[in-house]
Amino acid sequence: MRLENKVAIVTGSASGMGLEEAKAFAREGAKVVIADLNAEAGKQVAEEIKAEGGEATFINVNMTDSASINALVEETVKTYGKLDVVVNNAGIFDKYANILDTDEAQWDLIVGVNLKGIYLMAKAALPVMIEQGGGIFVNIASVAGIVAAKGGAAYTASKHGVIGLTKHMVSEFAKQGIRTNAIAPGTIVTPLIKDVVQNIPTDPVPMKRFGQPSEVSELAVFLASDEAQFMNGAIIPIDGGFTLQ
């Protein structure tokens, strides 16, 4: 198993891509912390993983609150003794709202969860990882962080920020044994956008289909594994060729 004995936090893992990532990590031998604001769904995911023979626990977290994120990291280390991997998956979508249609509260919420949440997570987890001699971050960005045609104003800005923050983390912390890479998914069919996807044509995607959460989760497993130990600062689109257009 590629992640045997690793301890991983997967944020936003009560549903969608995060759920698939958490289950994939558990299948590969990781001890997984399901970190989400939705306690009912998060606990259910942890129970499903345990029923399938994996090891998981649920910890409630608010990705815009530093005290909540600090508590998440502290509880993880208290439970498992270390922290090897953080998958920064938690995110929210703005349904393509442009600047004029985005009020200040919506902007603050989307940037707060999608970008500030990763900053707070890194700020909490990095000291633990540095002290133990290394660690891995897998940041879930988006093709909206590469091009401007796959999200609204706040979402696009936040995902460009995720890519910039990923690069900064490598430049500052690679020498201390920290690996940080980002995945940039295209349109992935998840509960977050299921009502939007029905109205999106697949024509701009060379493969003429949208992606599945399991396809992103397998890439996340690879980046967290020793197979990717020389990968640092990679921004990897998984989009059916969309960003090549």
Q: Which residues are catalytic?
A: 155
Taking the CB of residue 98, how many other CB atoms lie within 10 A of it?
11
Q: Distance from first CA to last CA of the chain, Å, rounded?
A: 37
With beta carbons less than 8 A apart as the criterion, state whether 172 and 166 touch: no
| Ranges of H-type helices in 11-152 | 16-27, 39-51, 66-80, 104-111, 117-132
Instruction: Calculate the CA 180 to chain-centre distance.
Output: 12
Tokens of 128: 């633990």
- How far apart CA 30 and CA 47 sit, in angstroms, is 15
Q: What is the DSSP letter of 113?
A: I
With beta carbons less than 8 A apart as the criterion, state whether 79 and 57 touch: yes
